[in-house]
């Protein structure tokens, strides 16, 4: 299911008509009105103007569309407020973010987490904590948890991965722009949801994964942030975005 918010105020009438036609086309696909009668499978012609036409470097095409003249807009906070590249999987999102982070000027600052096993009841009775060295824990990448290695630059957009202060707009999914990178805190400005433009400071936090895919409990002390030039489709829910590309690298409408 796709949620579509369309902002038409101040737009050219031709653009408004194109947006309405696109919205109606999406609705017709959802209601099974495109492609004629079928038994659950049908081939749909996608308009050329919404396809990525560069088979050699599709990510470069995405960047040119969503982030044109990005090197000239680094210090313009509003530039990042309503722009994002969306993809279904974290691995693809990471690939896009790494590409844009490399393009971004300035020195990289690397933050490494401190990972440790929690001294709690383990899922398996025969669990041996000695099997899980710090290197193994560092290599774990879990949805909703910052990676062991977090690389940032001043000016990049980031997303908050935990609720810190809901009253002041620091919620899971809030996007910010980095203004200063300290050893113990990161200074940033809120660029989405409530309190846009407000300066804040993000500390390191001790975090544990909430899912049950890992048969033991561990704790990661890291800044609860992730670079977010690109984000997963799930993370985009509730965001106000007007300039978006959707990167479907692999088939997404099949089982699994």
The token pair that represents 153 in the structure block: 């630059």
d(C-alpha 58, C-alpha 223), whole Å = 31
Confidence (pLDDT) at 126:
59
Query: Which of 110, 114, 184, 96 is closest to 151 using CA atoms?
Result: 110
Query: Which of 115, 75, 133 is closest to 208 using CA atoms?
Result: 115
Same domain, 10 and 105: no
Confidence (pLDDT) at 1:
40
254 domain-assigned: no
Same domain, 109 and 13: no
How many domains would you assign to the chain? Answer: 2
- The torsion angle over the Cα atoms of residues 3, 165, 98 and 143, rounded to 10 degrees, is -70
Q: Strands 83-87 and 230-232, how do they pair?
A: parallel
182 domain-assigned: yes
d(C-alpha 221, C-alpha 201), whole Å = 16
Residues contacting 199, CB < 8 A, separation 6+ = 179, 187, 188, 189
Percent of the chain at pLDDT > 90 equals: 41
Same domain, 18 and 82: no
Contact predicate 158/178, CB 8 Å: yes
Quick: pLDDT tens for 109-148: 999 999 988 765 455 555 566 677 888 888 888 888 899 9
Same domain, 74 and 43: no
The token pair that represents 152 in the structure block: 């940032």
Please state, in angstroms and as integers, the Cα–Cα distance from residue 254 to each residue in 31, 52, 91, 250, following that order.
Answer: 18, 21, 19, 10
pTM: 0.81
What is the domain extent for residue 40?
Answer: 1-51
Confidence (pLDDT) at 50:
80
150 domain-assigned: yes
217 domain-assigned: yes
77 domain-assigned: yes
Contact predicate 152/181, CB 8 Å: yes
d(C-alpha 143, C-alpha 56), whole Å = 29
Same domain, 227 and 141: yes
Quick: pLDDT tens for 209-236: 877 777 778 889 999 999 999 999 888 8
Secondary structure element (H or E) that encloses residue 199, with its range = strand 199-203
Quick: pLDDT tens for 6-33: 444 455 677 788 888 888 888 888 787 8
């Amino acid at each position: 299911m796709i949620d579509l918010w369309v902002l038409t105020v101040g737009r050219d009438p031709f653009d408004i008509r194109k947006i309405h036609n696109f919205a109606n086309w999406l609705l017709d696909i959802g209601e099974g009105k495109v492609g004629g009668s079928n038994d659950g499978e049908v081939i749909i012609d996608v308009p050329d103007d919404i396809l990525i036409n560069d088979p050699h470097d599709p990510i470069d095409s995405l960047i040119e569309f969503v982030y044109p003249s990005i090197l000239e807009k680094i210090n313009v906070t509003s530039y990042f407020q309503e722009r994002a590249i969306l993809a279904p999987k974290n691995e693809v999102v990471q690939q896009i973010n790494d590409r844009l982070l490399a393009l971004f000027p300035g020195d990289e600052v690397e933050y490494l987490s401190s990972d440790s096993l929690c001294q709690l009841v383990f899922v398996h009775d025969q669990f041996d904590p000695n099997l899980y060295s710090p290197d193994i824990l560092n290599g774990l990448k879990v949805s909703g948890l910052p990676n062991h290695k977090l690389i940032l630059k001043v000016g990049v957009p980031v997303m908050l991965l935990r609720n810190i202060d809901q009253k002041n707009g620091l919620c899971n999914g809030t996007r910010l722009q980095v203004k200063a990178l300290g050893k113990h805190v990161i200074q940033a400005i809120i660029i989405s949801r409530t309190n846009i433009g407000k300066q804040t400071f993000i500390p390191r936090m001790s975090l544990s994964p909430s899912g049950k895919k890992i048969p033991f409990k561990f704790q990661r002390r890291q800044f609860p942030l992730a670079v977010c030039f690109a984000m997963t489709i799930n993370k985009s829910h509730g965001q106000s975005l007007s300039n978006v590309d959707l990167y479907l690298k692999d088939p997404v409408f099949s089982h699994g």
